[in-house]
Amino acid sequence: MTGHSEPGASRDGYGDALLDIASDERVVVLEADLGKSTKSCHFRAEYPDRTFCLGIAEQNMAIVGAGLAEAGRVPFASTFAIFSERAFEQFRNGIARTGLIVHLCGSHGGMHTGPDGSSAQSTEDIGIFRTLPGVTVLHPSDRNSARSLTVKLLEHRSPSYTRTVRNKTAEIYSELEAKNLEIGKAAILRKGTDAAIIACGVMVEQALIAADALSEGGVEVMVIDMHTIKPLDLDAVLMASETGAIVTAEDHSVIGGLGSAVAEVLAETSPTMMRMVGVRDEFGESGSPTEIMTKMGLTSDEIIRRVNQMLTK
C-alpha cells in the first residue's frame, strides 16, 4: 500500500470519475435525492444541464436511465446501495433484459456504514445484481480504484452495478497503479504459496493486514483484490486454488456474494478447501464501523483465524 496526500472513500472516487469523463457529451448523471452522499453532486455543480434529479424515486431513475441510454447517452445513476434494491425490477426488465447500457452505483454499502443501522446496511446488493444476466458487478477497494474503474465504464459494453462505501479507507493503489486496473481482471497484491485471500471492497485492506501478520509467523499468503465480482476472473481463482487453501473476505453476506461466486467456480473446476469471512445469515445493528465490523467478524483477525484453521488441517 502507498500513501496518498488526500485519502478518501471509494464514493469520492466515483465523484472524481464523473468529472474525469464529463468532457464526453454522452455522459449524463442521474440522482435520487442523494447526490451529496454519492458524490455525483460535483458533476451536477458543473454540468447541471446533463444532471437529472429524480427525487426519492429509484424505480423511475432506472427507467429514465434506460430511456436516456436508448437515446444514445451513457447514464451514470447513483443512490444508497440499500435503495438500489428498490429499483431491481426496473433494472432487470428495463435495462439488463433489453441490453441497454446504464451504470448504477450504490453507495454506503455493507456493515462499514455503521451508525445507520440494519435498515440501511445493504449486505445483499452484490448478490442481487450478480444474478442478472449480462450485468457487470464491481466493488472497488479504495478511492483510486473506484475512480479508475468508473472511468473505464464509459466504454464498457454492458450495464453495471458498482458498490462504493462512505467511510475513508487506506489507499491500496496509487493513482498510477489504479489506471492499470481492468474490469474483469483481478489484481494480485501479494504473492504467497501457503494460502490465498481473495477479498473485495473494504476487506482488501484487512486482507493485507492479515497477510503481514501471517508473514511474521512464517506463513506467506497470496492476496487478490477481486474488484470485479462479475465477470469473475477465473484465472485468478484457479491461481489461488494452487495454494490449496482459500479465504474469501467481503463486507457482504456470504450468501450470494464474493464467497459464493468463488465457491461456484471451485466446485466445477478445482475443488479446494476454503473458508468465507463475511456477514452470516443475519442483519446488522447501529454502532461505530469498528464495533459493527468486529461483531460481525469482518476483521484481519478473523481472516488470520480462518487461514490458520485450514493450515492446521
Q: Other C-beta atoms within 10 Å of 125: how many?
A: 27
Q: What angle do CA 99, 103, 106 make, to 5 degrees?
A: 130
Give the rounded distance of the alpha carbon of 102 from its chain centre. 17
Residue 5 three-state SS: coil
**89 is annotated as an active-site residue:** no
**How is residue 274 written as a grid cell?**
476454503
Assigned C-alpha cell, 54: 429524480
**Rounded Cα gap, residues 183 and 192, in angstroms:** 24
Instruction: Name the pairing type of β-strands 195-199 and 221-225.
Output: parallel
Residue length, the chain? 313
Out of 31, 58, 124, 250, pick the active-site residue.
58
CA nearest neighbour of 32 among 71, 101, 79, 85: 79
Please identify every residue annotated as catalytic. 58
